[in-house]
A = this chain, B = another copy of it.
């Protein structure tokens, strides 16, 4: 539709950085992901004592090279869009900023370097690579189902949390301080470890009564795991039914790419519903 030649450098830059359906955009996305992966790998390896002693200097230099590259990327992102503040305060913009700050902070505060681990948050950009592949339909489907289930699953999680507070408090009474249940927050932590069936074993009941209460908590956790699964399965089925009833392409203008819950074509406005 639009020829990029007729636009300024900002527009072309925008196309490369923000969009992924041009060849240059795809190359940029892949290169960026490789840079993110490598920079995270460096932070990870540097955290291993033995490697830090051997290659500490190399890692230090690499971290600064990546900081430089990501700073340039950040500045470019700012200057090639009309409303830079939108990017700055978007989720990805804040994450990009968090990934940069620690390096610069380390000039002023010793230990700020350790905050580099937050660079791992940049992994969220990985979802862009899916867009490059043909995973878009699957991602749309999954996110739609999860969006629809969010309310029900949050009610479920709140109920579980409430249960852990009640059961943890009871366990604090039953097992007492001496057996590792040293205070109520600790007992609630134990209840979460148990109800989610994780079961570290760092705190575990010792008295017969405590073991009885623990058994009840375990059986509750084992049974209610069914709830989020049931909800999501059900919502996926509902979604699939709705999807089936809607055509994938607009029956009027035959363009595709409509949201799963769209009722009207976003291109020509005609109804997408079958009669």
Contact = CB atoms under 8 A, between A and B. Distances in A.
Interface of A: 40, 43-44, 47-49, 114-115, 117-118, 120-121, 123-124, 126, 130, 135, 138-139, 141-142, 145-146, 151-153, 155-158, 160-162, 165-166, 169-170, 172-173, 177, 182-186, 188-189, 192-202, 204, 208, 211-212, 214-215, 218-219, 221-223, 225-238, 240
A234 to B, nearest CB: 4
Contacts of A223: 153, 156-157, 228
Contacts of A126: 158, 162
A138 B155 contact: yes
A234 B229 contact: no
Nearest to A198: B199
24 contacts: A44-B169, A44-B185, A44-B188, A48-B184, A49-B177, A115-B173, A117-B173, A117-B184, A118-B170, A120-B165, A126-B158, A130-B155, A138-B152, A142-B155, A185-B211, A186-B211, A193-B214, A197-B222, A199-B200, A223-B228, A225-B225, A225-B228, A227-B232, A229-B229
A170 B162 CA distance: 26
Contacts of A185: 44, 47-48, 208, 211
A123 B196 contact: no
Given A117-B184, A126-B162, A234-B237, 5 more contacts: A48-B185, A49-B183, A130-B155, A197-B197, A233-B234
Copies in the complex: 4
A126 to B, nearest CB: 6
A145 B233 CA distance: 14
